[in-house]
Amino acid sequence: MTKQELFGQILSKKSYLCVGLDTDLQKLPKHLLDTEDPIFEFNKQIIDATKQYAVAYKPNIAFYEAFGAKGWESLQKTLAYIPKECFTIADAKRGDIGNTSGLYARAFFDPNSSGLDFDSVTVAPYMGEDSVTPFLTFPNKWVILLALTSNGGSKDFQTLSVGDKALFEEVLTKSQEWGTDEQLMYVVGATKADMLAQVRALAPEHFLLVPGVGAQGGSLEEVSKYGMNSTCGLLVNSSRAIIYASSGEDFAEKAAEEAQKVQAEMAQYLDLYLKK
Ligand SMILES: O=C(O)c1cc(=O)[nH]c(=O)n1[C@@H]1O[C@H](COP(=O)(O)O)[C@@H](O)[C@H]1O
């Protein structure tokens, strides 16, 4: 998917919501556990309930991989079920020496090889250029590079000084030598909204994947105010607050209500903060 197509969808749905499919068997409503593929059945109903409010879906690969071949099958079926206009993110946080990264890229981007055809994959920058560039050789596919993550441990490395800047700032600057803003996005946690101005100073045009609203407590308004650019430039992810809004038989209905609430807020922020 191109940046312009993504922006077009954001404008037409008045939303930059990414629904995170962190589908945990332990948390599924009991009545789904007897179905043939509970993870897929849950995802299918969540997708049906939220697709008018969401522009992207992000299956977190850990929740599928943990179940081996069966989990991988649930992932393939889920990806095939996501509406074609929606942007898809394999949240796999990969990255390794070049030839290995090339195979990771095939796993998520090459349907003839793996059966999966995601639009993007999350990648850790720690191993540097040759671990990231193999993902960038696929046309119309995106790398979403971890820059400033939402978790407490982000302070262990990401905010350390490297010369006159912080390590995450070096990630933002250096990686722009490897790919364009039509193929690279960055992860910036919603819990770090106070640092979004710093991020935007170094990456004004890039899309940012912003997890951490909802269950992790980040502010959607602050993220929108400090992070939005002229193509919106934001995909704000919420997983647990939407998909586990209810643990009963009404789970899909409640997920739709939560997604609609977030979308309504986003519509206001697009009016207020989209740079003209
Ligand atoms: O790359 C990510 O998506 C990610 C980066 C980050 O800094 N923080 C973060 O929470 N995530 C992911 O975003 C999702 C957040 O889920 P909730 O906290 O339930 O909304 C999980 O799938 C996390 O793995």
| Assembly ipTM | 0.99
212 Cβ below 6 A of ligand 1 = yes
Residue of the CA atom closest to atom 16 of ligand 1: 239
Q: Which atom of ligand 1 is nearest to the CA of 215?
A: 18
Q: What is the pLDDT of residues 26-47, one digit of tens each?
A: 999 999 999 999 999 999 999 9
- Residues 181-204: what's their mean pLDDT? 97
Q: How confident is the model at residue 118, as a pLDDT?
A: 98
- What is the C-alpha to C-alpha distance for residues 18 and 237, in angstroms, rounded to an integer? 4
Q: How confident is the model at residue 59, as a pLDDT?
A: 98
Q: How confident is the model at residue 50, as a pLDDT?
A: 98
- Residues 203-231: what's their mean pLDDT? 97
Q: How confident is the model at residue 88, as a pLDDT?
A: 99
Q: How confident is the model at residue 163, as a pLDDT?
A: 94
Confidence of residue 209 (pLDDT cuts 50, 70, 90): very high
DSSP sequence for 85-152? TSEEEEEEEE--SHHHHHHHHHHHH-HHHHS---SEEEE--TT-HHHHGGGGGSTT-EEEEEEE-SST
Q: What pairs with residue 188 in β-bridges? A: 148
DSSP designation for 205:
S
Residue of the CA atom closest to atom 22 of ligand 1: 60
Q: What pairs with residue 19 in β-bridges? A: 57, 238
- Residues 180-187: what's their mean pLDDT? 98
Q: How confident is the model at residue 169, as a pLDDT?
A: 98
Confidence of residue 104 (pLDDT cuts 50, 70, 90): very high
Q: How confident is the model at residue 238, as a pLDDT?
A: 98
The percent of residues in the chain predicted with pLDDT above 90, rounded, is 100
- Residues 121-144: what's their mean pLDDT? 98
- Residues 39-61: what's their mean pLDDT? 98
239 Cβ below 6 A of ligand 1 = yes
CATH number where 194 lies: 3.20.20.70
59 Cβ below 6 A of ligand 1 = no
The percent of residues in the chain predicted with pLDDT above 70, rounded, is 100
- Residues 191-212: what's their mean pLDDT? 96
Sequence-distant (≥ 6) Cβ neighbours of residue 128 within 8 angstroms: none
Confidence of residue 75 (pLDDT cuts 50, 70, 90): very high
- Residues 92-116: what's their mean pLDDT? 98
The question of whether 84 is a catalytic residue gets the answer no
DSSP designation for 245:
S
> Measured in angstroms, how far is the CA atom of residue 115 from the centroid of ligand 1?
25
Q: What is the pLDDT of residues 237-262, one digit of tens each?
A: 999 999 999 999 999 999 999 999 99
Q: How confident is the model at residue 44, as a pLDDT?
A: 98
Domain count, the chain: 1
Domain that holds residue 221: 3-273
> Measured in angstroms, how far is the CA atom of residue 52 from the centroid of ligand 1?
22
Q: What pairs with residue 165 in β-bridges? A: 162
Q: What pairs with residue 101 in β-bridges? A: none
Q: How confident is the model at residue 276, as a pLDDT?
A: 86
SS3 58: strand
- Residues 186-201: what's their mean pLDDT? 96
